[in-house]
Amino acid sequence: RIGSATSLSSAVINTRLQELVKLFKERTEKVKEKLTDPDVTSDDESPTASPAKLGPAAAPVPPPGGEPEGDKPAGDEHYCEMLCCTFKYRPWLVRLKNYQFPSSIDPLTNLMYVLWLFFVVMAWNWNCWLIPVRWAFPYQTPANIHYWLLMDYLCDFIYLLDILVFQTRLQFVRGGDIITDKKAMKENYLRSQRFKMDVVCLLPLDFFYFKVGVNPLLRFPRCLKYMAFFEFNNRLEAILSKAYIYRVIRTTAYLLYSLHVNSCLYYWASAYEGLGSTTWVYDGEGNSYIRCYYWAVKTLITIGGLPDPKTLFEIVFQLLNYFTGVFAFSVMIGQMRDVVGAATAGQTYYRSCMDSTIKYMNFYKIPKTVQNRVKTWYEYTWHSQGMLDELELLVQLPDKMRLDIAIDVNYNIVSKVALFQGCDRQMIFDMLKRLRSVVYLPNDYVCKKGEIGREMYIIQAGQVQVLGGPDGKTVLVTLKAGSVFGEISLLAAGGGNRRTANVIAHGFANLFILDKKDLNEILVHYPESQKLLRKKAKKMLKNNNKPKDEKGAPGDPLIIPPKADTPKLFQAALAAAGRMGGKGPLAQLRWRLKELKAMQA
């Protein structure tokens, strides 16, 4: 009994030691991988447990000599309870007080700068739209003059902040380097054309108010800050997913502004001639701005039906309106056509490709069933990924950007493939750039049994079915997204590169395809990964070549089922009993075992 207990304890100790050795090996491999590739994150890092899940041993320890944190005054610490966790936060006033304005601003990617440009453009629009109205119409009166002046000087303050705070902090490129030095950024802005225009915008012509009164025309230089407007357009279009919608709105605003200025000019001309003095001028009834705007629309769009001008001034004014209207309207129509054409360029390309393909199939009298499948492929491919061939888009980008896009799109799927786990990470990156995306329609054959295999397939979306059986139509297994197949034919050498089963698409399936030639070109630079993949390929081929009985499949029924092998120590005892020729229990047991083996055979 003492010996059995000792052997049992020694077995437990040996098992535990083996587990510890295995854990130490895994940890060593992770540390080695992290040293060779710093981008790899350690699996040992875990998020900090929330206070609700911390045990007594993990509770925060109060500082020595001080009171516990829970007894601190409520004004020092602020907590927010959400679900089962408690988070400490700062009041928004404290956060605002501690906020530090950036010393340099990237004008291409900084969303805060785009938001600031929005406010600058709003101030610019205030000046562009309301200066003509205040000049022509009698909307600015001594009773409301202080409201107009308040808004004017608020816009001037926004202009001044833009010059002093934002424009002097904009990064720029010089000699291929991004300059972020404060002095260099300020000097670059002071030497630019934009600084000169910004200074002209803020000319203090308001001092003439003391001599000529509050004349809105003295604020006309404020409309020269058009560079901020065009910069805002470029930045906004760069971050919008559907920029053509904003382009349509902007072109419509151009047309409305042209009509707005023309209505102001018409009221000024009517006031110059005398309101209601002739049938051509504004008669002074109703809403003056709406009536004049209606007249401007009919004039600029050349609808007609207007009263004939009477005086020479009216005739010249009307002729200039007609000429300007024809020119402005034709420009707006052309610009709107360009905007709509750019918005539907992809759809137009898709339709032209599909029409050319249909014309080709009709010329060669392709069967209707094949034509319908081709049309279905076009429609599904276009609606699923927005383009017919991804390579047409990626070929224009540099190699580094193509790799970044491929990692974001495909790395999560490829990294989960068991075949490539343990391979060099850079090898996987190189492989991502060689993947081709192909769409298969329902019941399309992806590969057939017996054909030469030159590709490996990774399922990005959809499902495929592996067929087998005597008739070749029995579904053996259904593979889903993230699965890989065809790797045996891709990695095998000699005659092992033939397909071993039929694979068809179950519904629409989007697959990544990797050619054998591309993989071999990549593996030349990664010998360790090549050895690992060869080893996995041999193991897969060995498993596939095993007979079914070895895999545990049901074979012929045995009269006497097989038993477990006799322990080696017991076999040695039986052999010793046989050599001694004894007649004890061991000798009888040895004779019985011989009989059982004979019956089994």
CATH number at 365 reads: 1.10.287
Q: What's the mean pLDDT in 139-148?
A: 92
pLDDT band at 72 (very low <50, low <70, confident <90, very high): very low
Model confidence at 170: pLDDT above 60:
yes
> Which of the two residues, 313 and 545, has the higher pLDDT score?
313
442 shares a domain with 311: no
Token pair of 215 as six digits: 């004349």
Burial 346-363 (b: 16+ CB within 10 A, else e): eeeebeeebeebeeebee
Closest CA to 456 of 438, 476, 478, 472: 438
User: Comparing 104-108, 156-160, 217-221, 553-557, which segment has the lowest mean pLDDT?
Assistant: 553-557
Residues 427 and 472 in one domain: yes
Looking at residue 235, its pLDDT comes to 92
**H-state helical runs in 415-447:** 425-432
User: For residues 130 and 517, what is the distance between their CA atoms, to the nearest angstrom?
Assistant: 68
Q: Is the pLDDT of residue 50 over 50?
A: no
Whether 506 maps to a domain, the answer reads: yes
Specify whether 378 is located in the same domain as 408.
no
Of the pLDDT bands very low, low, confident and very high (cuts 50, 70, 90), residue 7 is: low
Q: Are residues 330 and 264 in the same domain?
A: yes
Q: What is the pLDDT at residue 316?
A: 92
Q: 446 lies in which domain range? A: 399-545
* 454 and 516 Cβ atoms separated by less than 8 Å: yes
Comparing 103-107, 382-386, 478-482, which segment has the lowest mean pLDDT?
A: 382-386
Task: Using the Cα atoms of residue 99, residue 103, residue 109 and residue 110 in order, give the sign of their dihedral.
Answer: positive
Mean pLDDT, residues 523-540 taken together: 83
The residue among 479 and 470 whose pLDDT is bigger is 479
Integer-rounded Cα Rg, in Å, for the chain is 41
553 or 235, which is more confident: 235
pLDDT of residue 556: 43
Backbone angles phi, psi at 87, to 5 degrees: -115, 140
In this structure, are 367 and 409 located in the same domain?
Answer: no
pTM listed for this prediction: 0.62
Region 335-356 average pLDDT? 85
pLDDT at 70: 44
Can you read off the two tokens belonging to residue 130? 């309301």
Supply the CATH number for residue 533's domain: 2.60.120.10
Closest-CA residue to 338 (of 233, 443, 425, 251) = 251
Residues paired with 88 in a beta bridge: 79
- Is residue 147 situated within a structural domain? yes
> Which pLDDT tens digit goes with each residue over 228-280?
999 999 999 988 888 888 998 999 999 999 999 999 999 999 999 998 888 89
CA angle in degrees (0–180, nearest 5) for 388-391-397: 130
pLDDT band at 571 (very low <50, low <70, confident <90, very high): low
Residues 443 and 502 in one domain: yes
Q: Give yes or no for a contact between 505 and 444, defined as CB atoms under 8 angstroms apart.
A: yes
pLDDT tens string 397-413: 787 887 888 888 778 77
Quote the tokens at residue 398.
Answer: 């540099």
Stretch among 122-126, 343-347, 440-444 having the lowest mean pLDDT: 343-347
In a domain, 350, yes or no: yes
Is residue 350 within 8 A of residue 378, CB to CB? The reply is yes
Domain for residue 346, yes or no?
A: yes
Q: Which residue has the higher pLDDT, 458 or 127?
A: 127
Same domain, residue pair 112 and 226: yes
Are the C-beta atoms of residues 343 and 240 closer than 8 Å to each other? no
- What does the pLDDT average to over 145-168? 94
pLDDT over 80 (residue 135): yes
Structure tokens at 76: 């020092």
Give domain status of residue 527, yes or no: yes
Q: Which two tokens stand for residue 287?
A: 């809403």
User: Per the domain annotation, does 456 fall within a domain?
Assistant: yes
Tell whether 226 is covered by a domain. yes
Q: Which residues contact 157 (CB under 8 A, 6 or more apart)?
A: none
Written as one letter, the residue type at 482 is G
C-alpha dihedral sign at 268, 274, 275, 278:
negative
Average pLDDT over residues 336-356: 85
Check whether residue 477 and residue 375 sit in a common domain.
no
User: Scanning the structure block, which residue is given the tokens 């360009």?
Assistant: 338
Q: Exposed, middle or buried by CB within 10 Å (0-12, 13-18, 19+), for 289? A: middle
User: Where is the domain boundary, 349, 368, 388?
Assistant: 388
- Helical H segments across 137-225, by residue range: 145-161, 182-190, 193-201, 209-212
pLDDT in tens, 56-67: 444 444 444 444
Rounded Cα distance between 540 and 286, Å, is 89
Domain end among 210, 239, 268: 239
pLDDT at 260: 94
Residues 291 and 310 in one domain: yes
Question: What phi and psi values does residue 84 have, to the nearest 5 degrees?
Answer: -105, 10
Coil/strand/helix, residue 466: strand
Higher pLDDT, 381 or 201: 201
| Tokens found for residue 260 | 């707005």
Q: What is the pLDDT of residue 223?
A: 94
Q: Provide the 10 A C-beta neighbour count for residue 296.
A: 22
Residues 281 and 177 in one domain: no
Boundary of a domain, candidates 521, 545, 569 = 545
pLDDT confidence of residue 163: 94
Number of domains making up the chain: 3
Cα three-residue angle 131-133-136, rounded to 5 degrees: 105
| Long-range pairs for 566-569: beta carbons < 8 A, 24 or more residues apart | 566/593
**Among 158-172, 202-216, 222-236, 336-350, which is the least confidently predicted range?**
336-350
| pLDDT band for position 53 (cuts 50, 70, 90) | very low
- Determine which of 49-53, 324-328, 464-468 has the lowest per-residue pLDDT on average: 49-53
pLDDT interval class at 199 (50, 70, 90): very high
Residue 173 maps to a domain = yes
Same-domain status, 403 and 534:
yes
**Same domain assignment for residues 112 and 144:** yes
